[in-house]
Amino acid sequence: MTESSTYSEPARAVPVIADVDVLVVGGGPAGVAAAVGAARTGASVFLVEEMGGFGGMWTQGLVITLAGYNSWLGPDRTRVVDGVGGDWLRRVTAIGGAVDHDGWVLSTDPEKMKLVADEMLEEAGVDFLLHVLATYPIVDDGAVTGCIIETREGRQAIRAEVTVDATGNGDVIARSGDDWAKGDTLQPMTLPMYLSNVRTTPGIDAGEPARIRTGPQPGDLDQYGMDDAEAARQDIAIDRQPMREAKERGDLPVFGGPWFGGLEKDVVWVNTVRVIGDATDNRDLTRAEVQGRRDAFRLYGYLRDNVAGFEESRLQQTAPTIGIRETRRLVGVTTLTGDEVRAAAQPADSIALGAWPIDVHPVDGYAGSHVMYVPDPFGIPYSSLVPATTDGLLAAGRCISVDREALGTVRVGATCTATGHAAGTAAAIAARDGVRPRDVDIAELQATLREQGALLTAEDLAPTLSLQG
């Protein structure tokens, strides 16, 4: 068989299993928020997810330290994401599955995160399927009108007035037209792991909030600032310099941090693996998964043999799927830029706030922490969720229209819930009013989001909103 070999698939009638107002593809933080937001706005909603549970990187990828809920700066600007994402966090916290404080990240239990996601979707009346791969959008006259899906029963279709791409990788966007881009270099992937039987520092609560020593003004935070307070777990002490030296000698693979988290005293979550690759290339993604597991064992071995308290630890689990930071991005009506993030821009069509640093992980083999710019809360425009030319489609999560620097901040989970909530709500309004997503009334969208508890602009950040847990 040559590379040019092809197979012509016979034409077939594909059964349509649902005809809804809003179809959401991808059940991570953005997708769950989009589906719930759309349903709470009165739409009929179908959500499809290719894995066996909802939560995406938060659960399947074991990224258990939730980033983006809080600003690193002044206390009156702490909580910057609420709405559906805030509801998710509060409900998980109420059953002991998360901490909710003003620290820079919030540790969670991924099993309880999945449980609450199921409950929220069911309560909202969302129809959903797991273990489903959305393959190709249905495109009629330049507008997306649903998707082809692959299920255990075979190929099926879902029709929708509006489709939300919450895949992270922009899979629907890329197969709908030309409104997408991908950088020449992509941020490294990561494979978090749990280490059990760790002897952590007694007398320090594993859930005590950690705060970065920066602010109250925005600005750069260098690697040493991160070393000073980069662990969500203050009961773990590590000297990172010998670890960097081991990498330079060739004794360790490339790593980040390491960053620590987790709710249990003797079970420590570690995020340190860094694997360069393209997650939109299936063979490269397979290689990254295999390399990630190999690198995780090597890095665990270093902690066990060189860091006090880890001597009797064991590698309990690596994430079921590798964590992906960057792939495709929408080319939208507008593109949010790093300069706008630095300026804490508040666009007139802002539908969400971000506050995570411009966190672009290096691709040059650098080990440890990296310089990041810590911004004031900035607005995310609705027009960055809307494709430049394709109709019937909205983006949510890390595949919205941003430049490389802005991606470094909007890609984190809490911010993804905020853009997902906005995309789902806008999709519901568009379907109800019979208009294109690009023609949705912005004032009505903003009012609806605020009624549902979302924070949209800096003016929404009254001191009473500092903590809502």
Q: Is residue 8 part of a domain?
A: no
Q: Is residue 206 part of a domain?
A: yes
The continuous run of DSSP H or E covering 297 comes out as helix 282-306
Alpha-carbon span 422 to 408, nearest angstrom: 20
Tokens of 173: 């966007």
Q: 460: domain CATH number? A: 3.50.50.60
Q: Is residue 406 part of a domain?
A: yes
* Residue that is last in its domain, among 277, 297, 318: 318
Pair 303, 352 in one domain: no
Pair 334, 437 in one domain: yes
Convert the pLDDT of each residue in 404-434 to its tens digit: 999 999 999 999 999 999 999 999 999 999 9
Pair 159, 244 in one domain: no
pLDDT for residue 466 is more than 50: no
pLDDT for residue 468 is more than 50: no
Burial of 24 (0-12, 13-18, 19+ CB in 10 A): buried
Convert the pLDDT of each residue in 263-280 to its tens digit: 999 999 999 999 999 999
pLDDT of residue 338: 97
The residue whose two tokens read 């270093």 is: 302
pLDDT of residue 469: 37
Closest CA to 81 of 35, 89, 65: 89
Alpha-carbon span 291 to 254, nearest angstrom: 11
Pair 257, 312 in one domain: yes
Return phi, psi of residue 265, to 5°.
-65, -40
pLDDT of residue 228: 54
Q: Is residue 230 part of a domain?
A: yes
pLDDT of residue 358: 95
Confidence of residue 3 (pLDDT cuts 50, 70, 90): low
Confidence of residue 462 (pLDDT cuts 50, 70, 90): low
- Of residues 304 and 362, the one with the higher pLDDT is 304
Pair 253, 358 in one domain: no
In sequence order, the 6+-apart residues with CB closer than 8 A to the CB of 37 are 83, 84, 420, 421, 422, 423, 424, 425, 428, 449, 452
Pair 245, 386 in one domain: no
- What CA–CA distances, in Å, run from 166 to 20, 148, 156, 174? 17, 16, 20, 12
Provide mean pLDDT across the span 38-43. 98
* Residue that is last in its domain, among 318, 341, 358: 318
pLDDT for residue 126 is more than 80: yes
- What CA–CA distances, in Å, run from 272 to 196, 276, 315, 316? 16, 13, 14, 15
Confidence of residue 51 (pLDDT cuts 50, 70, 90): very high
Q: Is residue 5 part of a domain?
A: no
pLDDT for residue 463 is more than 70: no
7-16, 195-204, 363-372, 405-414: least confidently modelled range:
363-372
pLDDT of residue 378: 97
Task: Report whether the peptide linkage leading into residue 258 is cis, meaning its omega lies within 30 degrees of zero.
Answer: yes
* Residue that is last in its domain, among 318, 340, 368: 318
- Of residues 318 and 207, the one with the higher pLDDT is 318
Q: What is the mean pLDDT of the chain?
A: 93
Q: Is residue 2 part of a domain?
A: no
Are 210 and 232 a contacting pair, CB within 8 Å?
yes
pLDDT of residue 364: 82
pLDDT of residue 465: 41
DSSP E strand boundaries for 56-117: 65-67, 105-107
Pair 171, 261 in one domain: no
Pair 361, 436 in one domain: yes
pLDDT of residue 223: 62
Pair 31, 116 in one domain: yes
Pair 174, 201 in one domain: no
Q: Which domain holds residue 412?
A: 16-185+327-465
**DSSP symbol at 162:** E
pLDDT of residue 231: 60
Are 77 and 459 a contacting pair, CB within 8 Å?
no
- Of residues 223 and 315, the one with the higher pLDDT is 315
90-94, 179-183, 234-238, 369-373: least confidently modelled range:
369-373
Pair 83, 163 in one domain: yes
Convert the pLDDT of each residue in 69-82 to its tens digit: 999 887 667 899 99
Please state the separation of Cα 181 from the chain's center in Å.
18
Pair 364, 244 in one domain: no
Are 337 and 322 a contacting pair, CB within 8 Å?
no
Q: Is residue 3 part of a domain?
A: no
Give the count of domains, the chain.
Answer: 2
1-15, 114-128, 186-200: least confidently modelled range:
1-15
